[in-house]
Amino acid sequence: NFNSFAVYPNPSKGTVTLSLSSNADVKVSLYDISGRNIYNQTFNNSDLSFNQELKFNSLSKGVYLLNVESDGKKASKKLIRE
């Protein structure tokens, strides 16, 4: 697990900030409630921590699962789009 992993604001209107304690590249995936992968992006990172704004404004209202992978670690958070 990561020392810190946050997605805010949550619930959101679509734009969220992902904050992660990692100094390696970060792969972000988003899945809808039925398990379909609807977003994949890998971000280059060499800082001590990772902060990235993600725009999910085109998503329908609902519950999603945000997965992150970095440096061999994985974590997930529920993301609510209002």
Per-residue model confidence as pLDDT tens digits over 14-52: 999 999 999 999 999 999 999 999 999 999 999 999 999
pLDDT tops 90 at residue 5: yes
- Give all strands (DSSP E) within 9-61, no chain letters: 15-20, 26-31, 37-43, 50-55
Pairing mode, strands 5-8 and 15-20: antiparallel
Q: What is the pLDDT of residue 1?
A: 76
The per-residue pLDDT of the chain, averaged, comes to 96
